[in-house]
Protein backbone atom coordinates (compact mmCIF):
# COMPACT_ATOMS: atom_id res chain seq x y z
CA UNK A 1 0.00 0.00 0.00
CA UNK A 2 2.33 2.70 -1.16
CA UNK A 3 0.02 5.24 -2.73
CA UNK A 4 -2.01 6.76 0.00
CA UNK A 5 -3.85 9.56 -1.73
CA UNK A 6 -7.43 9.97 -0.48
CA UNK A 7 -8.24 11.18 3.06
CA UNK A 8 -9.97 7.86 3.81
CA UNK A 9 -6.86 5.94 2.83
CA UNK A 10 -4.73 8.29 4.94
CA UNK A 11 -6.92 7.70 8.00
CA UNK A 12 -6.66 3.96 7.43
CA UNK A 13 -2.88 3.94 7.35
CA UNK A 14 -1.90 6.92 9.49
CA UNK A 15 -2.83 8.11 12.98
CA UNK A 16 -3.98 11.68 13.61
CA UNK A 17 -0.43 12.53 14.64
CA UNK A 18 0.74 11.45 11.19
CA UNK A 19 2.38 8.26 12.44
CA UNK A 20 2.03 5.07 10.42
CA UNK A 21 -0.53 2.77 12.09
CA UNK A 22 1.24 -0.33 13.39
CA UNK A 23 -0.51 -3.62 12.57
CA UNK A 24 -2.64 -5.19 15.29
CA UNK A 25 -1.46 -8.72 16.06
CA UNK A 26 -5.02 -9.90 16.68
CA UNK A 27 -5.82 -9.42 12.98
CA UNK A 28 -2.99 -11.68 11.89
CA UNK A 29 -3.41 -14.73 14.13
CA UNK A 30 -3.06 -18.01 12.30
CA UNK A 31 -3.17 -21.66 13.37
CA UNK A 32 0.22 -22.35 14.95
CA UNK A 33 1.11 -25.59 13.21
CA UNK A 34 1.67 -25.74 9.45
CA UNK A 35 2.95 -29.06 8.22
CA UNK A 36 6.54 -28.37 7.10
CA UNK A 37 6.65 -31.68 5.22
CA UNK A 38 3.64 -31.04 3.00
CA UNK A 39 3.96 -30.12 -0.68
CA UNK A 40 5.41 -26.64 -1.30
CA UNK A 41 2.51 -24.30 -1.96
CA UNK A 42 4.31 -20.97 -1.97
CA UNK A 43 6.61 -19.05 -4.27
CA UNK A 44 10.35 -19.51 -3.93
CA UNK A 45 13.54 -18.41 -5.67
CA UNK A 46 15.00 -21.00 -8.03
CA UNK A 47 18.44 -20.13 -6.65
CA UNK A 48 20.00 -17.37 -4.48
CA UNK A 49 20.79 -15.44 -7.66
CA UNK A 50 17.09 -14.94 -8.32
CA UNK A 51 16.46 -12.77 -5.24
CA UNK A 52 16.50 -8.99 -5.56
CA UNK A 53 17.50 -8.13 -2.01
CA UNK A 54 17.46 -4.39 -2.68
CA UNK A 55 13.64 -4.62 -2.67
CA UNK A 56 13.70 -5.96 0.89
CA UNK A 57 16.31 -3.54 2.23
CA UNK A 58 16.05 -0.48 -0.08
CA UNK A 59 17.79 2.04 2.17
CA UNK A 60 20.69 -0.31 2.86
CA UNK A 61 21.34 -0.56 -0.86
CA UNK A 62 20.92 3.16 -1.60
CA UNK A 63 19.67 6.23 0.22
CA UNK A 64 18.15 8.11 -2.70
CA UNK A 65 14.66 9.61 -2.15
CA UNK A 66 13.25 7.11 -4.67
CA UNK A 67 14.42 4.26 -2.48
CA UNK A 68 12.89 5.86 0.58
CA UNK A 69 9.59 5.57 -1.26
CA UNK A 70 10.42 1.94 -2.01
CA UNK A 71 10.77 1.42 1.75
CA UNK A 72 6.99 1.48 1.99
CA UNK A 73 6.55 -1.38 -0.53
CA UNK A 74 6.58 -4.93 0.71
CA UNK A 75 8.00 -8.07 -0.93
CA UNK A 76 7.32 -10.86 1.53
CA UNK A 77 6.55 -13.85 -0.68
CA UNK A 78 3.00 -13.97 0.71
CA UNK A 79 -0.31 -13.93 -1.15
CA UNK A 80 -0.76 -10.21 -0.40
CA UNK A 81 2.86 -9.21 -0.99
CA UNK A 82 4.49 -11.49 -3.60
CA UNK A 83 8.22 -12.08 -3.39
CA UNK A 84 11.21 -10.23 -4.77
CA UNK A 85 12.16 -13.11 -7.10
CA UNK A 86 13.09 -12.94 -10.76
CA UNK A 87 12.90 -16.60 -11.63
CA UNK A 88 12.08 -15.86 -15.26
CA UNK A 89 15.62 -14.49 -15.66
CA UNK A 90 17.04 -17.59 -14.07
CA UNK A 91 20.45 -18.55 -15.33
CA UNK A 92 22.45 -21.57 -14.17
CA UNK A 93 24.55 -20.83 -11.10
CA UNK A 94 28.11 -19.76 -11.89
CA UNK A 95 30.80 -22.31 -11.19
CA UNK A 96 32.23 -20.31 -8.28
CA UNK A 97 28.83 -20.23 -6.59
CA UNK A 98 29.76 -16.94 -4.91
CA UNK A 99 29.38 -14.10 -7.43
CA UNK A 100 32.05 -11.46 -6.93
CA UNK A 101 29.70 -8.50 -6.78
CA UNK A 102 27.41 -10.19 -4.25
CA UNK A 103 29.71 -9.71 -1.27
CA UNK A 104 30.54 -6.14 -2.23
CA UNK A 105 26.94 -5.15 -1.38
CA UNK A 106 25.21 -5.46 1.98
CA UNK A 107 24.02 -9.05 2.28
CA UNK A 108 21.96 -11.27 4.55
CA UNK A 109 24.28 -12.86 7.09
CA UNK A 110 21.80 -13.51 9.91
CA UNK A 111 18.71 -15.67 9.64
CA UNK A 112 15.98 -16.17 12.21
CA UNK A 113 14.36 -19.48 11.28
CA UNK A 114 10.66 -19.55 12.22
CA UNK A 115 10.75 -15.92 13.32
CA UNK A 116 7.10 -15.87 14.45
CA UNK A 117 6.07 -12.29 15.27
CA UNK A 118 9.59 -10.96 14.70
CA UNK A 119 10.75 -9.64 18.10
CA UNK A 120 14.25 -11.10 17.71
CA UNK A 121 14.80 -9.13 14.51
CA UNK A 122 13.69 -5.92 16.18
CA UNK A 123 15.86 -6.63 19.24
CA UNK A 124 19.02 -7.04 17.20
CA UNK A 125 18.49 -4.34 14.56
CA UNK A 126 20.40 -1.52 16.28
CA UNK A 127 23.33 -3.82 17.18
CA UNK A 128 24.16 -5.18 13.73
CA UNK A 129 27.41 -4.26 12.03
CA UNK A 130 27.18 -1.99 9.00
CA UNK A 131 26.31 -3.96 5.88
CA UNK A 132 25.07 -6.95 7.82
CA UNK A 133 21.40 -7.74 7.18
CA UNK A 134 19.04 -9.97 9.17
CA UNK A 135 16.16 -11.90 7.65
CA UNK A 136 13.28 -13.66 9.39
CA UNK A 137 11.85 -16.69 7.62
CA UNK A 138 8.36 -17.75 8.62
CA UNK A 139 6.10 -20.44 7.17
CA UNK A 140 2.77 -18.79 8.11
CA UNK A 141 1.43 -16.34 5.51
CA UNK A 142 -0.51 -13.97 7.78
CA UNK A 143 2.18 -13.92 10.45
CA UNK A 144 4.75 -12.98 7.79
CA UNK A 145 2.46 -10.12 6.70
CA UNK A 146 2.29 -8.92 10.30
CA UNK A 147 6.08 -8.84 10.66
CA UNK A 148 6.55 -7.18 7.26
CA UNK A 149 3.98 -4.49 7.98
CA UNK A 150 5.41 -3.91 11.43
CA UNK A 151 8.93 -3.45 10.08
CA UNK A 152 7.53 -1.06 7.47
CA UNK A 153 5.81 0.89 10.28
CA UNK A 154 8.97 0.98 12.38
CA UNK A 155 10.94 2.31 9.40
CA UNK A 156 8.38 4.96 8.45
CA UNK A 157 7.92 6.09 12.05
CA UNK A 158 11.66 6.68 12.40
CA UNK A 159 11.83 8.67 9.12
CA UNK A 160 13.48 5.72 7.39
CA UNK A 161 16.47 6.01 9.75
CA UNK A 162 16.10 2.76 11.71
CA UNK A 163 15.14 -0.88 11.12
CA UNK A 164 16.43 -0.78 7.53
CA UNK A 165 18.67 -3.80 8.13
CA UNK A 166 15.90 -6.29 9.06
CA UNK A 167 13.31 -7.92 6.85
CA UNK A 168 11.10 -10.98 6.63
CA UNK A 169 9.95 -13.48 4.02
CA UNK A 170 7.62 -16.41 3.88
CA UNK A 171 9.36 -19.73 3.41
CA UNK A 172 9.35 -23.32 4.53
CA UNK A 173 12.97 -23.49 5.62
CA UNK A 174 12.90 -27.26 5.96
CA UNK A 175 12.57 -27.47 2.19
CA UNK A 176 13.80 -24.21 0.75
CA UNK A 177 16.69 -22.78 2.76
CA UNK A 178 19.31 -23.71 0.14
CA UNK A 179 17.38 -21.76 -2.50
CA UNK A 180 17.95 -18.54 -0.55
CA UNK A 181 21.63 -18.44 0.38
CA UNK A 182 25.09 -19.28 -0.92
CA UNK A 183 27.52 -21.67 0.68
CA UNK A 184 29.20 -20.03 3.69
CA UNK A 185 27.07 -16.87 3.41
CA UNK A 186 25.68 -16.88 6.94
CA UNK A 187 27.20 -15.72 10.22
CA UNK A 188 24.32 -16.61 12.50
CA UNK A 189 21.34 -18.93 12.39
CA UNK A 190 18.67 -18.75 15.08
CA UNK A 191 16.22 -21.47 16.12
CA UNK A 192 14.18 -19.88 18.88
CA UNK A 193 11.38 -21.84 20.48
CA UNK A 194 11.07 -24.26 17.58
CA UNK A 195 7.88 -26.30 17.39
CA UNK A 196 8.48 -29.32 19.65
CA UNK A 197 6.46 -31.94 17.68
CA UNK A 198 6.11 -34.18 20.71
CA UNK A 199 4.75 -37.36 19.11
CA UNK A 200 7.50 -39.76 18.10
CA UNK A 201 6.06 -40.10 14.59
CA UNK A 202 6.37 -36.33 14.23
CA UNK A 203 10.01 -36.10 15.30
CA UNK A 204 10.95 -35.95 11.59
CA UNK A 205 9.19 -32.58 11.47
CA UNK A 206 11.65 -31.15 14.00
CA UNK A 207 13.70 -28.38 12.45
CA UNK A 208 16.96 -29.60 13.97
CA UNK A 209 17.81 -33.05 12.64
CA UNK A 210 20.89 -34.67 11.09
CA UNK A 211 19.82 -34.04 7.49
CA UNK A 212 19.07 -30.36 8.04
CA UNK A 213 22.14 -29.79 10.22
CA UNK A 214 24.26 -30.60 7.18
CA UNK A 215 22.42 -27.88 5.26
CA UNK A 216 22.94 -25.43 8.13
CA UNK A 217 26.66 -26.35 8.19
CA UNK A 218 26.83 -25.73 4.43
CA UNK A 219 25.33 -22.25 4.78
CA UNK A 220 27.26 -21.10 7.85
CA UNK A 221 30.76 -19.72 7.38
CA UNK A 222 33.58 -21.15 9.49
CA UNK A 223 33.28 -19.59 12.95
CA UNK A 224 29.59 -18.80 12.30
CA UNK A 225 27.16 -19.53 15.12
CA UNK A 226 23.97 -21.56 15.45
CA UNK A 227 21.70 -20.60 18.35
CA UNK A 228 19.05 -22.75 20.00
CA UNK A 229 16.63 -21.82 22.77
CA UNK A 230 13.47 -23.53 24.01
CA UNK A 231 11.35 -23.96 27.12
CA UNK A 232 10.80 -27.67 26.33
CA UNK A 233 13.58 -29.61 28.03
CA UNK A 234 12.90 -32.75 25.98
CA UNK A 235 13.38 -30.78 22.75
CA UNK A 236 16.53 -29.16 24.09
CA UNK A 237 18.02 -32.58 24.86
CA UNK A 238 17.10 -33.76 21.34
CA UNK A 239 18.57 -30.70 19.63
CA UNK A 240 21.81 -30.93 21.61
CA UNK A 241 22.16 -34.62 20.90
CA UNK A 242 21.77 -33.97 17.15
CA UNK A 243 24.27 -31.11 17.25
CA UNK A 244 26.78 -33.01 19.39
CA UNK A 245 26.73 -35.89 16.88
CA UNK A 246 27.49 -33.57 13.97
CA UNK A 247 31.20 -32.93 13.49
CA UNK A 248 30.65 -29.54 11.85
CA UNK A 249 29.44 -28.05 15.15
CA UNK A 250 31.12 -27.47 18.49
CA UNK A 251 29.22 -26.29 21.57
CA UNK A 252 30.42 -23.09 23.21
CA UNK A 253 31.01 -23.09 26.96
CA UNK A 254 28.62 -21.20 29.24
CA UNK A 255 30.98 -18.24 29.67
CA UNK A 256 31.17 -17.74 25.89
CA UNK A 257 27.39 -18.08 25.63
CA UNK A 258 26.74 -15.39 28.21
CA UNK A 259 29.34 -13.09 26.59
CA UNK A 260 27.50 -13.19 23.25
CA UNK A 261 25.09 -10.20 23.05
CA UNK A 262 22.73 -12.22 20.87
CA UNK A 263 22.02 -14.50 23.84
CA UNK A 264 20.16 -11.63 25.48
CA UNK A 265 18.19 -10.99 22.27
CA UNK A 266 17.07 -14.60 21.94
CA UNK A 267 15.98 -14.65 25.59
CA UNK A 268 13.55 -11.87 24.70
CA UNK A 269 11.61 -13.13 21.66
CA UNK A 270 7.79 -13.11 21.61
CA UNK A 271 7.73 -16.71 22.86
CA UNK A 272 10.41 -15.99 25.46
CA UNK A 273 8.26 -13.19 26.88
CA UNK A 274 5.41 -15.69 27.38
CA UNK A 275 7.79 -18.06 29.18
CA UNK A 276 9.01 -15.25 31.44
CA UNK A 277 5.40 -14.25 32.20
CA UNK A 278 4.55 -17.84 33.17
CA UNK A 279 7.78 -18.10 35.21
CA UNK A 280 8.96 -20.98 33.01
CA UNK A 281 12.52 -22.09 32.41
CA UNK A 282 14.53 -21.48 29.21
CA UNK A 283 17.21 -23.83 27.91
CA UNK A 284 19.72 -22.47 25.42
CA UNK A 285 23.06 -23.15 23.74
CA UNK A 286 25.27 -21.78 21.01
CA UNK A 287 27.22 -23.94 18.56
CA UNK A 288 30.11 -22.81 16.42
CA UNK A 289 30.60 -23.98 12.83
CA UNK A 290 33.95 -25.78 12.80
CA UNK A 291 35.95 -27.68 10.22
CA UNK A 292 35.05 -31.35 10.80
CA UNK A 293 37.99 -33.30 12.16
CA UNK A 294 37.87 -36.44 10.03
CA UNK A 295 41.02 -38.57 10.21
CA UNK A 296 40.30 -41.41 7.82
CA UNK A 297 37.90 -42.77 5.26
CA UNK A 298 35.97 -44.95 7.67
CA UNK A 299 35.27 -41.91 9.88
CA UNK A 300 34.02 -40.09 6.81
CA UNK A 301 31.67 -42.97 5.97
CA UNK A 302 30.49 -42.89 9.58
CA UNK A 303 29.57 -39.20 9.23
CA UNK A 304 27.69 -39.80 6.04
CA UNK A 305 25.81 -42.83 7.35
CA UNK A 306 22.16 -41.81 7.23
CA UNK A 307 20.98 -45.38 7.42
CA UNK A 308 21.26 -45.06 11.21
CA UNK A 309 18.54 -42.38 11.17
CA UNK A 310 16.37 -44.40 8.83
CA UNK A 311 16.66 -47.44 11.10
CA UNK A 312 15.74 -45.33 14.13
CA UNK A 313 12.77 -43.84 12.28
CA UNK A 314 11.53 -47.31 11.30
CA UNK A 315 11.85 -48.49 14.90
CA UNK A 316 9.96 -45.43 16.13
CA UNK A 317 7.13 -46.03 13.67
CA UNK A 318 6.92 -49.67 14.77
CA UNK A 319 6.88 -48.53 18.40
CA UNK A 320 4.00 -46.15 17.74
CA UNK A 321 1.85 -48.81 16.08
C1 LIG B 1 6.85 -21.44 18.60
S2 LIG B 1 7.05 -20.32 17.29
C3 LIG B 1 8.49 -19.39 17.76
C4 LIG B 1 8.48 -18.01 17.14
C5 LIG B 1 9.69 -17.14 17.43
N6 LIG B 1 10.91 -17.77 17.03
C7 LIG B 1 9.75 -16.73 18.87
O8 LIG B 1 10.67 -17.17 19.57
O9 LIG B 1 8.90 -15.97 19.31
C10 LIG B 1 7.72 -21.34 15.98
C11 LIG B 1 7.58 -20.64 14.65
O12 LIG B 1 8.25 -21.39 13.63
C13 LIG B 1 7.47 -21.34 12.46
N14 LIG B 1 7.87 -22.48 11.63
C15 LIG B 1 7.66 -23.79 11.90
N16 LIG B 1 8.17 -24.57 10.92
C17 LIG B 1 8.73 -23.73 10.01
C18 LIG B 1 9.40 -23.92 8.78
N19 LIG B 1 9.61 -25.14 8.30
N20 LIG B 1 9.84 -22.84 8.11
C21 LIG B 1 9.62 -21.58 8.60
N22 LIG B 1 8.99 -21.34 9.76
C23 LIG B 1 8.55 -22.39 10.46
C24 LIG B 1 6.04 -21.41 12.98
O25 LIG B 1 5.07 -20.97 12.06
C26 LIG B 1 6.14 -20.52 14.21
O27 LIG B 1 5.88 -19.18 13.93
Within-domain flag for 31: no
Within-domain flag for 15: no
When pLDDT is cut at 50, 70 and 90, the band that residue 2 belongs to is: very low
**pLDDT for the residue 311:** 59
Within-domain flag for 186: yes
Query: For residue 257, what is the domain's CATH number?
Result: 3.40.50.150
pLDDT in tens, 43-59: 999 989 889 999 999 99
Task: Tell me the CA–centroid distance for residue 32 and ligand 1, in Å.
Answer: 8
Within-domain flag for 269: yes
Q: Domain of 66?
A: 50-320
**pLDDT for the residue 168:** 98
What is the number of structural domains in the chain? 1
Within-domain flag for 197: yes
Within-domain flag for 4: no
Within-domain flag for 164: yes
Task: Tell me the CA–centroid distance for residue 96 and ligand 1, in Å.
Answer: 33
The CB density around residue 30, as the number of other CB atoms within 10 Å, is: 14
Q: Whose CA is nearest to atom 12 of ligand 1?
A: 114
Higher pLDDT, 64 or 191: 191
Ligand 1 proximity of 118 Cβ (cutoff 6 Å): no
pLDDT for 15 beyond 90: no
Helices 173-180 and 210-219: crossing angle, nearest 10°?
20
pLDDT for 86 beyond 60: yes
Within-domain flag for 35: no
Amino acid sequence: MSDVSSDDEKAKYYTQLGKYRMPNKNNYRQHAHCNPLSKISMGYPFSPECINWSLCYPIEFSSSPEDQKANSLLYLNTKTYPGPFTNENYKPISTTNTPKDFYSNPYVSIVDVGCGYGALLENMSSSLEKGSLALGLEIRDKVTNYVGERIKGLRLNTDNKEFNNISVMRSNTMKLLLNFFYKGQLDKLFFCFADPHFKRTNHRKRIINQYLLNEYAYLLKKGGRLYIITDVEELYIWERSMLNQNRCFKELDKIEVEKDIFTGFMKNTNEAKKVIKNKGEMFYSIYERVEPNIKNLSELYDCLDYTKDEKEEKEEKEGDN
